Every structure is written in structure tokens, then in C-alpha cells.
Structure 1
Amino acid sequence: MAETGASPLPATPPPATPHPAIPDPSDARLRDARPSDSRSPLARAERFVWLTARVLEQRLFAYLFRGGDPDPVETALDAYRNADGGYGHALEPDVRGPVSQPLHTAHALRVLDAVGRCGGQRAERVCRYLTSVSTPDGALPVLRADGVGHPVAPHVRVVADPPAELLVTGPVVGLLHRNEVWHAWLFRATDFCWRAAESLEPSDPYEVEAAVAFLDTAVDRPRAQAAAERLGRLVRERHLVVLDPDAPGADRAGSGCAPGGRHFPHDYAGDPRSLARAWFTDEEMARSLDFLAARQDDDGGWPVGRRHWAPAPALEERARVTIAALRTLGAYGRPLG
């Protein structure tokens, strides 16, 4: 990771620009379009998704970028749901096997949120599962050891008595708050997230991302803004972000990154409405988005920013990363089609 000097936080950025209109290259009217049209970022990504992705990501892509219906997305997601209300079956590609895990369930909530279905009985069912797997302090471990009998990625820790971690609790609580879900489980889990976010001394960028996911939707906005401002200063001071992808040495992974991984402004602020957007100047964010757009591979997908450990998980993760990249670029008004 690049060694970049700390600098004061920039002023709050302007509001998000609207998502650009995206043409459908499968439309009969576009079959004879110029070659450049068929090579748009969206068209290339769509080909990659249909060639490589699971049904869930295919359906999610169709919903997000082609005006698809949310019902098929939820139907595809149901294939990963277990009788205990949690999700398994390698929904999170780095954890294989059928057993429900908090990490899988966190991803399921992200999918439900993306299609506007993160509420009602669905949320109640998930919250009952979260209650059943929480640690004594009311929060979530990343992985429950009693359900591990299948392959997991080397970077996923498996311990006999796993502690509660912000890494999974923060995003889950944040998603439930954003969807105005109220459940008894949330009270203690929210308190845990406040303590963890406000005391975090980050060395792992993924912990910071989890804190931001919580703070972005926390009800107490002044408190959330203060906590986010502190984290933003630490991210810059501790060089947990690459501010200039073209700088010498920017291809090195810093001590705070996963193997083979680097973190850029767009990783922390995937949406311009995020509190983390204020951590970076307009120039820094523009460079980061330029770098993200240029990372699209010749096959249309985006690369996974960490070391591969098995073929299937790597391919499944690439489809998810590709959809996330398109959503980030679109949220900032970058042209996709």
C-alpha cells in the first residue's frame, strides 16, 4: 500500500448525482449498433455475469440494471435459506457447506436490501436466527465453530469460542436500521456497534468498512458523524488507503490489508451519501473512481482484491465484485452504457 502523508479531512462533498440511463444492448433496436456500444462497461459486465455467475447474481444483475423483477431474486436467495432462519450453502463464497452462518446471513440481508425486501416477516425470521447465534454481549461472531466441517478460505478465522466482531455485526445492524426494522435483538447489538466503532483503533480496512456500514444509518446522526470523522483521520494517518493509484509503490499491500488486497477511497465510500465520502477530496475520489473503472478485465468482470484459494469461490466472488463495482460507479454518475 502506498505510503501517503496524513492530511486534513476535506469539506463535505456535494449530493449524489442521479444514476445515468442505461441502454439495453439486448434490445432488437441495438443489434446493429456501433461496436463501441456493445463494448460498454455494462454490456461487457453483463456478458461476464451470464457466462460465469450463479443464478442469484444473474437475477440480481437483471433487477439492478435491466429493470428486472425482485421476485426472482428472492426466489434464488431462498435456495440458500435453512430451517433455522439463517443462510448457508456457500452464499458467502469463502465459507463452503450448507450450515447457517452469520457471515452468510449478513450477505443475505444485503441482497434483500438491494431489492427492497429487507423487512416484515423476512426480517423477523432473520432476527430470530441472529438472536440464537449471538455471543453473550448480544453481537455476532463471523463464524460459528460448531457448524464448521467444510472448507473455508485461509483468511477466515475458525476458533472454538468465537468472539463478537464488528466485521459482521456492523453491516447487519446498519442494514436493519436503514430498513426501519425494530427487534429486541437490535438493542444490545446496536450498543455493541457504538462501543466498537467509537473505540476502534484500525489496522484492518475491513473493520473500518464495517464501522462505516453501521454509522451511515445510525439514528444518532451527530454521534455518527463524530465517530466517522475520527475514523477518517485514522485511516489517512495509518495509511490504510491508497490515495494515488499511480504513485510509485501503490501496488504494494500494506500491513492493514488482506493478502493481495489494497483499499481505495471508493472501497470506504461506495456511495456518495456515505459519511466516509467526507474523508477524501474530490480529486482523490475522482482518481479512485478512474482506477475502479479501469480495473474491468477483458472478460468484462472485475478482479477480486485478495488472493485466490480455490477456483469456484474465486469465480463466484468475481460476479459479486463486478456488480458492486457497477453500483459504485453508477452511484457517482459514471457512465456505464
Structure 2
Amino acid sequence: MSKREVLERAGTFIYSNARLLDRKRFAYHFDGGTAEEVLGALRPYQNGDGGFGHALEADLRGPHSQPVATETALLVIREVGGFGSDLLESVIRYLRSITLPGGGLPRATTEVNRYPHAPWWITEQDGVPSINPTGSIVGMLLEQQERTVLIREDWFQSHIDFLWNHVEQGLPGDYHDAAQWISFLQHVPDRERASMHLSRLDEWLTGPSGIETDPLAEGYVHKVLDYAPTPSSYAAKLVSDQEVQGHLDWMLSTQQEDGGWALTFPGTSPAAEQEWRGWLTVENLKILKAYGRLS
């Protein structure tokens, strides 16, 4: 199948099946769309408290703001270079309001239990800090250059203290933890301290619990392109070009008949599965583009 056919089939899937946000993301990358259009599609997911809900993270179907849905919003904002948008001011207000004593954000609040959700999002109590999604959110806010004054605020510094304490106590438990480590350690200002922990992280990433290098591995595993979605990704240095090319070949081979890609985990409902497929299809196309497989 030609590169053009891969993109055309994926575009048919996106415009036939994906939610508006992912149609706008696809258009931004491949069909002449704009950042403003993506941000406009993101706005309806934001609540009055500044956080995001309404199944922006498709496994959480409730309307209330959640930290992980807000992380998803920040990923979209970063994707289109939108940190200068007024969306960010409201996000900062929300994050400040849910910062826990001693730093850290909760993984989720007990509000998730009132609405349909994936079983792994059951939350037994409020007020428990978690590296996921604190590390990712803090890393993105450290990375952006539009609103750097917030980094000196007490609430933000408490998150940095929390994250240092966390990484110094052990190693990642899984891919989701590792992604938080990478986001934080890549952007935290204390580079000497970060370097020491990045060395430990590299050992974990190249060990048996880290990057899955077999493209045919089944189940809920995280492979080379999950960790290195672009050639400039942190983990790209830890995998060979041969491994990358093998995983790109595998990704192309798994495009479905309808033009999208299937999930590697169970969907919580038909709607959630379809929304995840739209998101994943755009993500996979971005990876293929980054490695020159669509041009």
C-alpha cells in the first residue's frame, strides 16, 4: 500500500467516525486545518473551574473535571503550540485549586465513581497524590515558555518537591509511570539532579519491565513507538534504527480495513472505543509522519 493510500484511508476513517476534536487534529496535521480550530474543538470539554471533563479522556465518561482529562487537554494544547491561548489561564486556576497539601495532584477524584468509567479508574478516596498525571502536567508547564512566572509560585514548587521525593524513592512501575518521569526529568531546572535519575530511568527502560522491542508482542504492552513517537523523543536513543523501522512496518501492517487502528486495550463502551480509535489513529499518523513514512 502506498503512503498516500495509508493517509487517505485513515482520513476516511477519521471523517466518518472520529469526534470533532480528532477531526480537527487530523486536519491540523494533514488537511490544512489551524491550531485555532483545534483549540475551538477542545473548549467544550472545559468546565467553569478551568479543568476538563466530559469524556475528553474517553475512559472517564462523567462531566466533572479530572486531572487526567486536564492532562489530555494540555497534550492537545502543546500539540498545536497553543500555550499562549486563554485556555491555559483557566487550567492553571484549576490545577492550583486541586493541589494537595505537600504537593502532587490526585490521579482521579471519587466523582469518577458516579459515572461510567473503566475499572482501572475506580477511586476509593480523595486527596491521594499520584505521580500520574502530576509528572506529565508539571513537565509540560515547565516546558512551555508563555507563562513562566507560575513556576515560581508556591503551589507549583510543591509539585516539584513531591516529584523529586517520588523519583528518589524507587523506579517506575509501568509505562504510565515512566512517561511521568520522562516529562518531569526532561524539563525540571536542576539538570545535575535530573541527570542522575535519568541514568536510573535508562536502566529501567532497557530492562525487562521497560520498552517492549518485539513488534508482535501481544497484550497490554508498550512498544518502541509508544516510548519514541518521534526521532527526537527522549527514549529514541535507547532503541536501534532497525527496531524503529520494524515497529513502523508493524504499525502500517495493522491499519484496519476501515482505515483506522484498533485498540490494544478493552473499550469501556462502544462510544469510548470509537473515540479512542479516532485519537489513536491521529497519533499513529503523527508517528508515521515524524519518521518519514507518509512523505
TM-score, normalization by structure 2: 0.90
Q: Look up the match of 1:54.
A: 19
CA deviation vs aligned residue, 1:150-181 (integer Å, no higher than 9, x gap) = 11101213121352111211111111122123
**Selected match of 1:142 from 99, 102, 107:** 107
Relative contact order higher in (CA < 8 Å, ≥ 6 apart): 1
Q: Look up the match of 1:232.
A: 202
CA deviation vs aligned residue, 1:32-75 (integer Å, no higher than 9, x gap) = xxx95762x21111111111111111111111222212222111
1:156 paired to 2:121: yes
Displacement, 1:120?
Answer: 5.6
Q: Which amino acid aligns with 2:236?
A: R
Displacement, 1:230?
Answer: 1.5
SS in 2 for 1:155: helix
The Cα RMSD (Å) is: 2.1
Aligned partners of 1:171 and 1:210 also within 8 Å? yes
CA deviation vs aligned residue, 1:96-151 (integer Å, no higher than 9, x gap) = 12111111111111111111112364322211101111221221112111464111
1:1-337, aligned counterparts within 5 Å?
Answer: 39=5, 41-119=6-84, 121-146=86-111, 148-180=113-145, 181-182=147-148, 183=150, 184=153, 185-246=155-216, 250-251=217-218, 260-333=219-292, 335-336=293-294
Looking at structure 1, the residues matched to 188 and 245 of structure 2 have their Cα atoms a distance apart, in angstroms, of 27
Displacement, 1:200?
Answer: 3.7
SS in 1 for 2:286: helix
Displacement, 1:311?
Answer: 0.9
Displacement, 1:217?
Answer: 2.8
With over 3 angstroms needed to count, the CA separation of the structure-2 counterparts of 1:300 and 1:220, relative to structure 1, is farther
Instruction: Report which of the two structures shows the higher radius of gyration computed on alpha carbons.
Output: 1
SS in 1 for 2:105: coil
Aligned partners of 1:131 and 1:138 also within 8 Å? no
Looking at structure 2, the residues matched to 226 and 288 of structure 1 have their Cα atoms a distance apart, in angstroms, of 30
SS in 1 for 2:283: helix
Looking at structure 2, the residues matched to 81 and 148 of structure 1 have their Cα atoms a distance apart, in angstroms, of 20
With over 3 angstroms needed to count, the CA separation of the structure-2 counterparts of 1:294 and 1:218, relative to structure 1, is farther
Q: Look up the match of 1:9.
A: none
TM-score, normalization by structure 1: 0.79
Q: Percent identity?
A: 37
CA deviation vs aligned residue, 1:269-296 (integer Å, no higher than 9, x gap) = 2222222112222222222222223222
Aligned partners of 1:85 and 1:128 also within 8 Å? yes
Aligned partners of 2:139 and 2:188 also within 8 Å? yes
Q: Which amino acid aligns with 1:282?
A: D
Using the TM superposition, name which of 292-301 and 55-64 deviates more.
292-301
Aligned partners of 2:263 and 2:276 also within 8 Å? yes
Using the TM superposition, name which of 286-295 and 48-57 deviates more.
286-295
Looking at structure 1, the residues matched to 69 and 127 of structure 2 have their Cα atoms a distance apart, in angstroms, of 16
Q: Which amino acid aligns with 2:109?
A: R
Aligned partners of 1:119 and 1:179 also within 8 Å? no
Gaps of 5+ in 1: 1-34, 252-259
Gaps of 5+ in 2: none
CA deviation vs aligned residue, 1:214-265 (integer Å, no higher than 9, x gap) = 223333444434323311211332333321224xxx33xxxxxxxx411111
CA deviation vs aligned residue, 1:286-325 (integer Å, no higher than 9, x gap) = 2222222322212111222212221111110111111111
Whose helix proportion is higher, 1 or 2? 2
Aligned partners of 1:197 and 1:227 also within 8 Å? yes
With over 3 angstroms needed to count, the CA separation of the structure-2 counterparts of 1:280 and 1:223, relative to structure 1, is farther
Looking at structure 1, the residues matched to 173 and 78 of structure 2 have their Cα atoms a distance apart, in angstroms, of 29
